[in-house]
């Protein structure tokens, strides 16, 4: 397994890409409301990334082995869609939840982040799921430091989620990121502490747990991209790009509108 260690100059490039990514989410936040389509959100994001940020939307035409090229500039996963939802012309309605997943390439570097949005008021179940998934992501982030293990991150997320009565999707995970969209290592959101790869200063990874209100089993939707819960229960995901430092971590996907960390996060 070859894991890239970023230099100081590399990290600065990652900071720029990460900030731009988060700023796209800031802009989209005010547009997520009943009656708006995810296609409209995709167009807004595309125009900002391409015309104002002078950057590239990484998902557009992305084609991993076995997949047709992804046709949009963002992923928009609604309600029981777990990830990779393709934007469409169906209007969002009151009570929907939607994950918007943004990846921006700037000067060759990738920033990758996603947030949950509740359309209108939302149910107590939806609010709880989105809140706890945000907290689960941060339970993983605070485990990051040089010398820690990837299993420490997964264990922290899994323990928190399952104690809250939520299930952890296992087929999709976080990943290394840098010049490549998806690099080594894989960052599982479940596992045992003290296992798997040792974190080293200069590594950049994503932490992006997908938690379901029901069972963890998933399946591929008919479009070949969107992943959905088998029991049609609600699913939520949050994501940040994180730098490993000697003493801890630095979240690279931050901007003025980034939701604040939970109270248990210090430093």
84 assigned binding-site residue: yes
80 assigned binding-site residue: no
The answer to whether 57 and 46 have CB atoms below 8 angstroms apart is yes
Q: Which residue shows structure tokens 């920033």?
A: 111
Using CA atoms, how far apart are residues 154 and 19, in angstroms rounded to an integer? 25
Task: Give the 3-state secondary structure of the chain.
Answer: CCCCCCCHHHHHHHHHHHHHHHHHHHHHHCCCCCCCEHHHHHHHHHHHHHHHCCCEECCCCCCCCCCCCCCCCCEEEECCEEECCCCCCCECCCCCEEEEEEEEEECCEEEEEEEEEECCCCCHHHHHHHHHHHHHHHHHHCCCCCCCEHHHHHHHHHHHHHHCCCEECCCCCEEECCCCCCEEEEECCCCCCCCCCECCCCCEEEECCEEECCCCCEEECCCCCCEEECCCCCEEECEEEEEECCCCEEECCCCCCCCCCCCCCCC
46 assigned binding-site residue: no
171 assigned binding-site residue: no
189 assigned binding-site residue: no
110 assigned binding-site residue: no
Tokens of 193: 């502490």
239 assigned binding-site residue: yes
Residues contributing to the annotated binding site: 84, 101, 112, 175, 182, 208, 239
Residues contributing to the annotated binding site for a divalent metal cation: 101, 112, 175, 208, 239
Residues contributing to the annotated binding site for substrate: 84, 182
């Amino acid at each position: 397994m070859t894991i890239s260690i970023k230099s100081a100059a590399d990290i600065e490039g990652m900071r720029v890409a990460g900030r731009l990514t988060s700023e796209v989410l800031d802009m989209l936040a005010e547009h997520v409301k009943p009656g708006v389509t995810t296609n409209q959100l995709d167009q807004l994001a595309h125009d900002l990334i391409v015309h104002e940020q002078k950057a590239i939307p990484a998902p557009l035409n992305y084609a991993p082995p076995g997949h047709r090229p992804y046709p949009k500039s963002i992923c928009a996963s609604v309600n029981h869609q777990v990830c990779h939802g393709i934007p469409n012309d169906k209007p969002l309605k009151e009570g929907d939840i939607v994950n918007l997943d943004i990846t921006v390439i700037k000067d060759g570097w990738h920033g990758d982040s996603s947030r949950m949005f509740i359309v209108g008021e939302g149910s107590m179940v939806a609010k709880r799921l989105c809140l706890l998934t945000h907290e689960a992501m941060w339970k993983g982030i605070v485990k990051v430091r040089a010398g820690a293990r990837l299993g420490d991150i997964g264990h922290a997320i899994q323990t928190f989620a399952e104690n809250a009565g939520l299930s952890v999707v296992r087929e999709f995970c976080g990943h290394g990121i840098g010049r490549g969209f998806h690099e080594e290592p894989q960052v599982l959101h479940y596992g045992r502490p003290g296992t798997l790869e040792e974190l080293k200063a200069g590594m950049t990874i994503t932490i992006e747990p997908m938690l379901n209100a029901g069972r963890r089993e998933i399946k591929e939707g008919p479009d070949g991209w969107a992943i959905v819960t088998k029991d049609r229960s609600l699913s939520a995901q949050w994501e940040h790009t994180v730098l490993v430092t000697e003493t801890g971590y630095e979240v690279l996907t931050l901007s003025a509108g980034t939701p604040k960390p939970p109270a248990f996060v210090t430093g």
